């Protein structure tokens, strides 16, 4: 593989690795990786280079990286703030907790796990909120994201604050994207397992995937932030995406159950902002006739998986620039839909 590490965006080396010309073998199957169209992929790189906020791009076909490019910023092995892509990692840890018996299942009420952490006088509807509702952003609780975010993260107790939000919909109803849902899950993981979310992430994902999971932000009670500011390198994100593409197995070792992958990639709700479906930590959309699963963090921290084409794609961006309301995420989607996916077809 060729690595492109020159910081100047105009410097795009046209000689990409083309799998059809080299004896490259997929690490998961042991079979030759499928070829990819060089000219189309060159066009996708040029399209990506025109996006000033984009920091890095990795494209892997059948587990083999065919593009590893740093446009600006740190190397591909340096952990960066993946923002709300953290929610997808928390969802994976939740699935492992269920597989290991730490949680009973997705229908377990959250108040059973949190016990005394539930604020006194909480709305009785809180007893109906389950792990499933938190994962799929259907708790019905008023959001702690968007205009509500600042007041939440400056509160003295993030978990109690999130649980005490008024219900603006019924549990299990429509999608209300809220970082508080994922943070409640982080608190539940910590309480049920008797270990920090950081320790679980290192043990359940970091060690088996061979990736570094640095410590990240915690709330005033010491709970690791369940939906934001996790630090992972672009190559670590690639390994995480490959875990899902390979049905929960990495290097011959099962980490996630196949059933959890299916549930995570099954539409559970629909975003009113994008129109895309949402599973457990993953958005779902169609691109060029192919189902694409993607994790999305503020600023344009993206992880795409296209199973039928064997594609796993990582994009990291300036974490301080908005991506949703500015249309930047549409630009990133366009690099996928107009360049990378056609190159794999």
Quick: pLDDT tens for 126-180. Answer: 999 999 999 999 999 999 999 999 999 999 999 999 999 999 999 999 999 999 9
pLDDT value at residue 321: 80
Mean pLDDT of 73-82: 96
On the question of pLDDT at 14 being above 90, the answer is: no
Regarding whether 315 and 240 lie in a shared domain, the answer is yes
Is-contact 295 18, C-beta < 8 A? no
Closest listed residue to residue 294, CA positions, set 321, 322, 320, 323: 323
In the 8-state DSSP scheme, what is residue 199? H
Cα Rg, the chain, nearest whole Å: 20
End-to-end CA, the chain: 20
213 in a structural domain: no
On the question of pLDDT at 7 being above 50, the answer is: no
pLDDT value at residue 322: 75
- What residues make up the domain containing 298? 3-78+233-251+268-344
Instruction: Please report where in the chains the tokens 């490959």 appear, as a residue.
Output: 242
| Distance from C-alpha of 129 to C-alpha of 157, rounded to nearest angstrom | 20
Q: What is the CATH number of the domain that holds 191?
A: 3.40.710.10
pLDDT value at residue 9: 47
Q: How many domains does the chain have?
A: 2
pTM: 0.92
Regarding whether 151 and 128 lie in a shared domain, the answer is yes
Q: With cut-offs at 50, 70 and 90, classify the pLDDT of residue 193.
A: very high
pLDDT value at residue 214: 98
Regarding whether 109 and 43 lie in a shared domain, the answer is no
Instruction: Please report where in the chains the tokens 């959250």 appear, as a residue.
Output: 110
Regarding whether 43 and 14 lie in a shared domain, the answer is yes
Regarding whether 24 and 62 lie in a shared domain, the answer is yes
pLDDT value at residue 64: 96
Angle at 221 (CA atoms; ends 217, 226), nearest 5 degrees: 45
| Distance from C-alpha of 74 to C-alpha of 188, rounded to nearest angstrom | 34
48 in a structural domain: yes
Over residues 219-261, the pLDDT tens digits come to: 999 999 999 999 999 999 999 999 999 999 999 999 999 999 9
Over residues 267-304, the pLDDT tens digits come to: 999 999 899 999 999 999 999 999 999 999 999 999 99
| Average pLDDT of the residues of the chain | 92
Mean pLDDT of 195-220: 98
| Helix 86-99 × helix 234-245 angle, to 10° | 40
Q: Count of CB atoms within 10 A of residue 29's CB?
A: 12
Domain-terminating residue out of 153, 175, 197: 197
């Amino acid at each position: 593989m060729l690595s492109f590490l020159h910081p100047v965006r105009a410097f795009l080396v046209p000689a990409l690795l083309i799998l059809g010309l080299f004896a490259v073998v997929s690490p998961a199957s042991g079979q030759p990786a499928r070829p990819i169209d060089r000219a189309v992929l060159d066009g996708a790189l040029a399209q990506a280079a025109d996006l000033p906020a984009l920091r890095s791009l990795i494209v892997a076909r059948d587990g083999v990286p065919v593009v590893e490019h740093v446009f600006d910023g740190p190397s591909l092995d340096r952990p960066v703030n993946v923002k709300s892509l953290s929610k997808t990692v928390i969802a994976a840890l939740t699935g492992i907790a269920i597989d290991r018996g730490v949680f009973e299942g997705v229908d377990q009420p959250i108040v059973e796990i949190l016990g005394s952490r539930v604020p006194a006088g909480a709305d009785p509807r809180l007893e109906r909120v389950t792990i499933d509702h938190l994962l799929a952003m259907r708790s019905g609780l008023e959001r702690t994201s968007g205009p509500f975010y600042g007041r939440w993260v400056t509160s003295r107790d993030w978990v109690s604050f999130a649980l005490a939000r008024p219900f603006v919909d019924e549990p299990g109803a429509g999608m209300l994207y809220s970082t508080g849902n994922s943070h409640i899950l982080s608190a539940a993981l910590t309480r049920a397992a008797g270990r920090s979310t950081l320790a679980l992430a290192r043990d359940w994902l970091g060690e088996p995937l061979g990736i570094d999971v640095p410590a990240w932000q915690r709330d005033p009670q010491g709970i690791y932030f369940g939906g934001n500011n996790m630090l992972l390198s672009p190559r670590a994100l690639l390994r995480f995406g490959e875990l899902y593409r390979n049905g929960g197995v990495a290097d011959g070792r099962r980490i996630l159950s196949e059933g959890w992958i299916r549930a995570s990639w099954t539409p559970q709700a629909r975003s009113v902002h994008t129109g895309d479906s949402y599973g457990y930590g993953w958005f779902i959309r169609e691109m060029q006739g192919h189902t694409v699963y993607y994790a999305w963090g503020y600023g344009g921290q993206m992880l795409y998986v296209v199973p039928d084409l064997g594609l796993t794609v990582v994009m990291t961006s300036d974490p301080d620039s908005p991506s949703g309301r500015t249309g930047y995420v549409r630009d990133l989607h366009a690099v996928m839909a107009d360049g990378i996916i056609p190159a794999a077809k």
